[in-house]
Amino acid sequence: MIPSEQGQAAKPVSKYRSQFRIYVDIMHVIQRENNEAKPTRILYGANLSHDRLVKYLEELKALGVIQENGIDEKTYSLTQKGIEFLNNFRKVESFASAFGFKI
């Protein structure tokens, strides 16, 4: 289970994204990049600042859903746990969307 972020104020222009949603967006980018994504691709794909990207990547690694590969040129890939999580998330998203609820 991935916890959701608490206590962040919504920005006036951009729509508020929960920590959970950011985790999912990062994982989607990695999967889209054939499960081997460079940090810059994740940064642009998930629309994050560098500092926040580093923070979230560390958190996702600690959760065991992504892993870091390479030494000189770092890339990130989903672990088996991460792939299973994304599959479950798709089911939940599709279920909630059928009722008109956004997650």
Partner 1 sequence: MLAPLWFFGFDSLMEFIGFAIASAVAYQALKGYRLSKERTLLYLNLSFGLLGAGLLIDGLANLVVLLARFHRAFLFLSAFGYTINFLAQLLAYGLLVFAYMQQAKNVGGQVAMAAAVPALFFEHNAITELILIFLLVYIATNTAINYNMNKSTSALLVFGAFASLSVAHLFFLLFTIAPVFFAFAHIAQLFGFLLLLAMLLRVNHAA
Chain residues that interact with partner 1, rule: CB under 8 A: 1-4, 20, 85, 87-92, 94-103
Distance of closest approach, residue 71 Cβ to partner 1, in angstroms: 34
Q: What phi, psi does 75 have (nearest 5°)? A: -135, 160
Distance of closest approach, residue 25 Cβ to partner 1, in angstroms: 13
* Tokens of residue 9, six digits: 């104020």
Q: Give dist(CA 54, CA 51) in Å, integer.
A: 5
Would you say 71 or 99 has its CB closer to partner 1?
A: 99
Q: What's the Rg (C-alpha) of the chain?
A: 14
Would you say 34 or 87 has its CB closer to partner 1?
A: 87
